[in-house]
Structure 1
Amino acid sequence: MGIFRRIAGVAGSLCLFWAALDATAADTKAPWWKHALVYEIYPRSFGDSNGDGVGDLNGINAHLDDLEKLGVDAIWIAPMYPSPQADFGYDISDYQAIDPQYGTMADFDRLQQAAKQRHIHVILDMVMNHTSDHHAWFVESASSRNNPKSDWYVWNDGIPADTAHLSAVQRRNIHDGKAPPNNWESMFGGSAWQWVPARQQFYYHRFYIQQPDLNWRNPDVEKAMFGAIRFWLDRGVDGFRLDAISVLFEDTELRNDPERPGTNAQGEPNLNYLYSDKLPEVHGVMRRLRALVDSYPGQRVLIGETYEPNIKLLDEWYGTKEAPQLQLPMNLQLGFGWQASFDATWFRKRLQESQQVHGQPLLVVDNHDNPRSIDRFGDGTHDVERAKVVAAALLTSRAVALTYYGAPIGMTTATPTRVEDVRDPVGVTGWPKDKGRDGERTPMQWTSGAQAGFSTSPKTWLPVNPNHATVNVEDEWKQPESLLNWHRQLIALRRDNPALRDGAMTFLDNDNPNVLVYRREGTRPVLVMLNFSGSAQPVPKRLMQGKIRTLAASEDSLREVATLDEASLPAYSAWVVTSD
């Protein structure tokens, strides 16, 4: 728990922020995850060990040395459970097994053992909101209205098709004289309700048709899902990233969600998910799940996929000291807020807000659902330089940092150019307005050779990005100034430097529109200066007196500077210094 403090910037402005750590003493008793770098792996795309064009667990195992060299503390593995792959693993048909295309349980055990030998923790993705329609639970539930699992999913009789004021989405989904009970839409397009003749009812699916939502108001569902979580905790996993947890519950009256202006990629009305998202009951599940996880030794961790519009709502996911919930709700505002841009003012405001939570912040700028940050924050000319600035902001802030495979080398988004090449269901239904998420899921680029060293197959599940000839791990390890070695340097600094590891953040020169400056406090403070502009900028006055020592600099010219007096920051540069 932290305390609010007020601190003055060099311009006399005050910055209100949450300081959760003693700035002068190392937090030696902190759990392993509190200062971690978490690395997301999309298993289909990381490493293919058997030449079938699809990544697998042994492919992850084969590259653990690279992750150890980078300084990764934990890997988050996207779903690897048995699945029909309608949504590439997020439609799970068995929570307690490994999909054969990814390997066996023995392969997983070897991976976990090898990771632990390298001091890398293993975190699994857990999809609690929905299953595959191939899951045995749903097959039984869909078979009749009176089977033992008949109430394990969200079923409804629908309403008469001649009911007034049906939405267009409802009118397109009429069966046997019945329309869906409300206007709720699937995130992948169309009505969120699917008709099943055997039951003469609709089931609810927030996401794809093949992903029916579980009925979390049935205690048997919670018991079964917690049982699956126990299965993996008993195997020694270090925690879970919880997918889509905000939508576990739906309004019991199934009221229509209010419409917002405009339409989505499928041409349907935008909705305000007032009755189908973020209902308060979900926090009770999180408290009970936290109690379960805390009953295991080894500081297991819960990471939440928590897209929230403001820091106050994000803070609620931490719970309280008496009733804790998630240790690490994802702060996705910095990287994915609707106004996110490569801008000093944007990054300053979001980082300031990130400190205002009752726990350790977790910052995310890349994941498997969004175009890669090098493209979102780049300008097409200075992409690597800008990526170094973004990496410095992520890795020198007081927060757990989450990165995504390929981000440390600057992998770019390779969006399909033809609808017939799209694999992602979002792109299939949303083309051309939404071309899907294939572009950020292309195979990992290990080498400049055939298929980027990802696979020996001439045809991989998604095409390898042609820029692997210059953007790849093997070559970047050899280049001291590469984006990969920049990441490695910053990761080592955040691990070893007391101020960067444990110190609070003091934001300085807060009115500067071009340069973001903050100080990480400690016996020997560290100053971070990030120039977001395309021209050289003077270093703000009186930031650090006397001689300085450069800890990291994205530009060679900064490494020999002895004082901040009259110094300037080159365009798109990052500079991390301490007193000499």
Structure 2
Amino acid sequence: MSDDATRTDDQAAWWRSAVVYQIYPRSFADSDGDGIGDLGGITARLDHLQTLGVDVLWLSPVHRSPQADNGYDISDYQDIDPLFGDLAQLDALLDGVHERGIRLLMDLVVNHTSDEHPWFLESRSSRENPKRDWYVWRDARPGTTPGEPGAEPNNWGSFFSGPAWHLDERTGQYYLHLFDRKQPDLNWENPEVRAAVHEMMRWWLDRGVDGFRMDVINFISKVPGLPDAPTAPGQQHGNAFALFADGPRIHEFLAEMTREVFAGREGQFLTVGEMPGVTPEEAVRYTDPARGEVDMVFQFEHVSLDTDPLDKFAWRGVELVTLKRSLHRWQDALAERGWNSLYWNNHDQPRVVSRFGDDDPQWREASAKALGTVLHGLRGTPYVYQGEELGMTNFPFTSADQHRDVEAVNYHARVLEQGLDEEAALAGMARVGRDNARTPVQWDDSPHAGFTTGEPWLPVNPNHTWLNAAAQAEDPTSVLHHYRALIRLRHELAVLAEGRTTLLLPDDPTLWVYTREHAGERLLVAVNCGREPRELEVDDTWVGAGLVLGNLPGTPEVLGSAGLRLGGWDARMYLRR
């Protein structure tokens, strides 16, 4: 690998102390009144993000797309969908963020394209087309007739329900789609595909973007032969995850990408690999600077603990002890080498206050601040998902027709088709469905929360009349103010960026306590993740430590010898130098 593409510690330092803010454009802010967020709306709200203090914006896809999966089905990688604006508005956004000292990441969705992408239109036009091998095509299973049940080339299932194969009537072959049938998988074994992706990435970097968040990037290398996957009793499709995640050539493909795209460029870019199912041990390999693959991973272990592995919408909850062990397992594994993303929310997850916190009006604000404190105190790069800095909650879904997300819509249809428990399905969809993250950002108490002057594409949460940015902007006790403080501390305290993490009281059911240590600085993070007050004893070395942040009024400024009495959802950081 070229030395020019290798990240040194000095070059990497900026993102170790940075905070990333994710924007889901469709739901952030609408500038033209059509009810769908757009680039103009984002540009108009940049002052909010500058005041918040974030360093990087990650922009979920705004590329041209049929919107089968809300933009994660791209039909033109080098154009903007008219829903969001045009390239001139993207350039204006770039200028606006750079003027404020903020970097911009584009979403790189290259495991698959839209079935309306010109590459796929050529590929499906005939078996002899030069781009036929740009996608994954296979004949029907031997001894079967194409189109009949069970004729698919293997037994893999789609993440969005049903088989992972769709029959193309024109050519009589099936194509692979790990997600929706309108999202055919690219064939990364073909060097022409990789070269085309690299060329597109260079085009965006030349335009001024500062890096990429790479969607399901660890899926691009499949096991040769695409064999059948093992099935569990009662399971319709095989569990093929091990056959396409972290595949045999994935490290080769990512190292090649770094050489071909980033070599010779200044070291200020950022690459984030979204990697479902990645283990901490594999994450060390992916993010080891010497290997030149990605700067950090975006993993899902901690947000997979409260659902059934075979049925995402079968919510089962999670105990705090299990959640703590998961996050701190990652802290320990990446303590010496590699880097992790820290997040509670994103466009695919329900709101953390409703999920791991307490969205009862009496406790919502304190629990939002407490969970923010836990996350931002850890080692790694924190991410804030739009509205998280306000403590936004899940939407009060009551019926299937309120959902827009293709994953939830397909799931509900399958439940009805198979005669399963619809009431349980609706409860699961309401609790963990992706639409919870996609309701419009709540800017003020106007009829559509200041998001749009039109009819929003997804209903605004009714609680926007009192839970909104305008109400919190000048309130020093607000969730927004607390997040500003957390982000400021990440910039100011080297111990937050570089310190080693040690978990205390790992088996306590409500207390989340850990320390950070670096270059003579020690930080104690103590959080009560429950309503009932708790007593916490601390050793004498912490006596006299000063409070750097608390979330409740009346918090002692200095840690005394008697220890701490933590109120409900009480969160504190104490610093000792």
User: Conserved in 2, the CA contact under 8 Å of 1:331 and 1:354?
Assistant: no
Q: Which runs of 5+ in 2 are unaligned?
A: 1-7, 308-316, 413-421
Relative to structure 1, the CA distance from residue 441 to residue 415 in structure 2 (aligned partners, 3 Å threshold; closer, same or farther) is farther
| Alignment partner of 1:318 is 2:287 | yes
How many residue pairs get matched?
539
Task: Within 5 Å, give how 1:31-430 maps onto structure 2.
Answer: 31-160=13-142, 162=144, 173-174=147-148, 179-261=151-233, 263=235, 268-269=236-237, 271-291=239-259, 292-308=261-277, 310-319=279-288, 321=290, 323-338=291-306, 341=318, 343=320, 346-357=323-334, 358-381=337-360, 382-414=363-395, 416-430=397-411
- Following superposition, the deviation at residue 298 of structure 1 comes to 4.1
For residue 292 of structure 2, give the secondary structure of its aligned residue in structure 1.
Answer: coil
- 2:138 partner amino acid: N
Mapped partners of 1:348, 1:530: distance in 2: 15
Relative to structure 1, the CA distance from residue 567 to residue 131 in structure 2 (aligned partners, 3 Å threshold; closer, same or farther) is closer
For residue 166 of structure 2, give the secondary structure of its aligned residue in structure 1.
Answer: strand
For residue 156 of structure 2, give the secondary structure of its aligned residue in structure 1.
Answer: coil
Counterpart position of 2:418:
none
Counterpart position of 2:417:
none
Bigger drift between 364-373 and 491-500 goes to 491-500
User: Conserved in 1, the CA contact under 8 Å of 2:357 and 2:367?
Assistant: yes
1:569 to 559, 562, 566: 566
- 1:296 partner amino acid: R
Alignment TM-score, normalising by the size of structure 2: 0.88
- Following superposition, the deviation at residue 270 of structure 1 comes to 5.9
- Following superposition, the deviation at residue 254 of structure 1 comes to 2.3
- 2:213 partner amino acid: R
User: Conserved in 2, the CA contact under 8 Å of 1:336 and 1:365?
Assistant: no
- 1:222 partner amino acid: R
Relative to structure 1, the CA distance from residue 453 to residue 125 in structure 2 (aligned partners, 3 Å threshold; closer, same or farther) is same
- 1:389 partner amino acid: A
Relative to structure 1, the CA distance from residue 71 to residue 336 in structure 2 (aligned partners, 3 Å threshold; closer, same or farther) is farther
Give RMSD over aligned pairs: 2.4
User: Conserved in 2, the CA contact under 8 Å of 1:243 and 1:304?
Assistant: yes
- Following superposition, the deviation at residue 294 of structure 1 comes to 4.1
- 1:282 partner amino acid: I
| Alignment partner of 1:490 is 2:459 | no
User: Conserved in 2, the CA contact under 8 Å of 1:124 and 1:239?
Assistant: yes
For residue 557 of structure 1, give the secondary structure of its aligned residue in structure 2.
Answer: coil
Relative to structure 1, the CA distance from residue 276 to residue 332 in structure 2 (aligned partners, 3 Å threshold; closer, same or farther) is closer
Mapped partners of 1:270, 1:413: distance in 2: 32
More helix by share: 2
User: Conserved in 1, the CA contact under 8 Å of 2:112 and 2:184?
Assistant: yes
Mapped partners of 1:472, 1:564: distance in 2: 40
- Following superposition, the deviation at residue 309 of structure 1 comes to 5.9
- Following superposition, the deviation at residue 370 of structure 1 comes to 1.5
- Following superposition, the deviation at residue 251 of structure 1 comes to 2.9
Relative to structure 1, the CA distance from residue 194 to residue 524 in structure 2 (aligned partners, 3 Å threshold; closer, same or farther) is closer
Mapped partners of 1:289, 1:101: distance in 2: 30
Relative to structure 1, the CA distance from residue 398 to residue 288 in structure 2 (aligned partners, 3 Å threshold; closer, same or farther) is same
Mapped partners of 2:498, 2:142: distance in 1: 61
- Cα deviation code 1:93-129 (max 9, x no counterpart): 0001111111111111110111011111100100011
For residue 92 of structure 2, give the secondary structure of its aligned residue in structure 1.
Answer: helix
- Following superposition, the deviation at residue 510 of structure 1 comes to 4.6
Bigger drift between 285-294 and 335-344 goes to 335-344
Counterpart position of 2:310:
none
Mapped partners of 1:204, 1:84: distance in 2: 19
Mapped partners of 2:238, 2:384: distance in 1: 30
For residue 528 of structure 1, give the secondary structure of its aligned residue in structure 2.
Answer: strand
Counterpart position of 2:3:
none
Counterpart position of 2:500:
504
- Following superposition, the deviation at residue 501 of structure 1 comes to 3.3
Mapped partners of 2:504, 2:399: distance in 1: 48
For residue 453 of structure 1, give the secondary structure of its aligned residue in structure 2.
Answer: coil
Mapped partners of 1:369, 1:220: distance in 2: 31
For residue 440 of structure 2, give the secondary structure of its aligned residue in structure 1.
Answer: coil
User: Conserved in 2, the CA contact under 8 Å of 1:47 and 1:59?
Assistant: yes
Bigger drift between 463-472 and 500-509 goes to 500-509
- 1:343 partner amino acid: L
Relative to structure 1, the CA distance from residue 50 to residue 320 in structure 2 (aligned partners, 3 Å threshold; closer, same or farther) is closer
Relative to structure 1, the CA distance from residue 564 to residue 262 in structure 2 (aligned partners, 3 Å threshold; closer, same or farther) is farther
For residue 490 of structure 1, give the secondary structure of its aligned residue in structure 2.
Answer: helix
- 1:371 partner amino acid: P
Mapped partners of 1:549, 1:125: distance in 2: 41
- 1:366 partner amino acid: N
Bigger drift between 213-222 and 302-311 goes to 302-311
- Following superposition, the deviation at residue 338 of structure 1 comes to 4.3
Mapped partners of 1:566, 1:38: distance in 2: 34
Task: Within 5 Å, give how 1:438-453 maps onto structure 2.
Answer: 438-453=435-450
Counterpart position of 1:558:
555
- Following superposition, the deviation at residue 280 of structure 1 comes to 1.8
For residue 527 of structure 1, give the secondary structure of its aligned residue in structure 2.
Answer: strand
Q: Which runs of 5+ in 1 are unaligned?
A: 1-20, 22-26, 164-169
Relative to structure 1, the CA distance from residue 476 to residue 220 in structure 2 (aligned partners, 3 Å threshold; closer, same or farther) is same
% identical aligned pairs = 37
Relative to structure 1, the CA distance from residue 252 to residue 562 in structure 2 (aligned partners, 3 Å threshold; closer, same or farther) is closer
Mapped partners of 2:501, 2:298: distance in 1: 19
Bigger drift between 269-278 and 124-133 goes to 269-278
For residue 454 of structure 1, give the secondary structure of its aligned residue in structure 2.
Answer: coil
